[in-house]
Amino acid sequence: MPSICFYFQVHQPYRLRHYSFFDIGQDHFYEDVEANRTILDKVARKCYLPMNALLLKMIKRWEGRFKVSFSISGVAMDQFAEYQPEIIDSFRALADTGCAELISETYAHSLAALFDPDEFRAQVKMHDDLLMKHFGVTPHVFRNTELIYRNDIAQMVEDMGYDAILTEGADHILGWRSPNFMYSPQSCNRLKLMLKNYRLSDDIAFRFSNRGWEEWPLTTEKFANWAHAVNGNGELINLFMDYETFGEHQWAETGIFDFMEALPAAIFTSPDMDFVTPSEAAKRYSPVAKVDVPNAISWADVERDLTAWLGNDMERDAIEACYALKDKVMATGDEGVIRTWRRLQTSDHFYYMCTKWFSDGDVHKYFNPYGTPYDAYINYMNVLSDFGMSLS
């Protein structure tokens, strides 16, 4: 019977305050402190603290048979430490059980892997240093921002010494193959590749409370039967999703917490099925084939590509202008300046500029604090203009 691997992305960006053209050259403070604190308070109350408490309860109840994993962005960890240290304490309690693995990513939840390999490696090290500082762990598995992946990224990750990398089980790269096996990157000799089962993942993350879905309501018995049906056609079911699924995107009133609490018992009705961490999966399962991904994929939107962040001229102009400042930023030797530049790399800033619509439009509107993508672009470029001037 196959194993189930839960992975949750935990991320909060540093949001920018309203910054007008007339602020340029006058005010060098860019972040919306009140929004950052308020949103973190809300998500902590609705998701992080109650869900962490529930997972700890589940791990103890099942005496280590139930397992999960997280990647927590560096900018999220910084906000936890600044505004609500009890969130870090609650994640530490989970990590200390040995049943909640912490995974590496970029410090700023950035697109550095696509634009600057040296900066990418620097941010990964920064992130791993934070994991050691707050949790006393060294990660052995990597996930890139928004599961962005291609062959050269896998090669860099293997060179940095990780055992496995996570990405999307996109149909256009798998073809007839199933995501429910361990694979290896085309470009690597040792690194293992874990692919998200997006159908089963999205049943929880996106469709759980959709009363128009033909499978609503999603019960634990129904979901467990789908997982059990993989037997003979797969070894590993990777369920990857935003952690804010629990309590924020799917409110507590939908029954999402009750669903998760009851899920292990339903899964364990098949005695040979278990839960594993990514590191355990990498040790247990051998690759069945290599996967060639020359063009970048992600877990975003129906296309599973980069168009959520680089799909229009505004996004490309903004991100290229940001990375063009690197030499001037590094020449300052100022830790505060470098930190500001890295926070301006956070992928959310460019996501807010996305002009996609059709099936993805509601998603982009939901997450966008600006009135329009054009407002997001203008605000970001005003900030970047002032920041660039301050480096002269």
Q: Please state, rounded to an integer, the average pLDDT across all residues of the chain.
A: 95
What average pLDDT score do residues 352-359 get? 75
Is residue 25 over pLDDT 90?
yes
What average pLDDT score do residues 320-325 get? 98
Q: What is the 3-state secondary structure (H, E, C) of the chain?
A: CCEEEEEEEECCCCCECCCCHHHCCCCCCCECHHHHHHHHHHHHHHHHHHHHHHHHHHHHHCCCCCCEEEEECHHHHHHHHHHCHHHHHHHHHHHCCCCEEECECCCCCECHHHHCHHHHHHHHHHHHHHHHHHHCCCCCEEECHHHCECHHHHHHHHHCCCCEEEEECCHHHHCCCCCCCCEEECCCCCCEEEEECHHHHHHHHCCCCCCCCCCCCCCHHHHHHHHHCCCCCCCEEEEEEEHHHECCCECHHHCHHHHHHHHHHHHCCCCCCEECCHHHHHHHCCCCCEECCCCCECCCCCCCCCHHHHCCHHHHHHHHHHHCCHHHHHHHCCHHHHHHHHHHCECHHHHCCCCCCHHHHHHHHHHCCCCCHHHHHHHHHHHHHHHHHHCC
pLDDT at 64: 95
pLDDT at 196: 98
pLDDT at 360: 45
Domain ranges of the chain: 3-291, 307-390
Fold of the 3-291 domain = 7-stranded beta/alpha barrel (3.20.110)
Is residue 359 over pLDDT 80?
no
pLDDT at 220: 98
> By mean pLDDT, which of 4-8, 213-217, 354-358 is the weakest?
354-358
What average pLDDT score do residues 131-158 get? 98
**Residues with catalytic function:** 146
What average pLDDT score do residues 326-343 get? 98
The confidence band for 366, taking pLDDT boundaries of 50, 70 and 90, is low
What average pLDDT score do residues 284-310 get? 95
pLDDT at 231: 87
- pTM of the predicted model, to two decimals? 0.95
pLDDT at 254: 97
Is residue 6 over pLDDT 80?
yes
Is residue 178 over pLDDT 60?
yes
What average pLDDT score do residues 330-350 get? 97
Q: Which residues pair with 246 in a beta bridge?
A: 250
User: Do β-strands 164-168 and 192-196 pair in parallel, antiparallel, or remain unpaired?
Assistant: parallel
pLDDT at 358: 41
The confidence band for 232, taking pLDDT boundaries of 50, 70 and 90, is confident
Q: Quick one: tokens of 19?
A: 């910054």
pLDDT at 369: 83
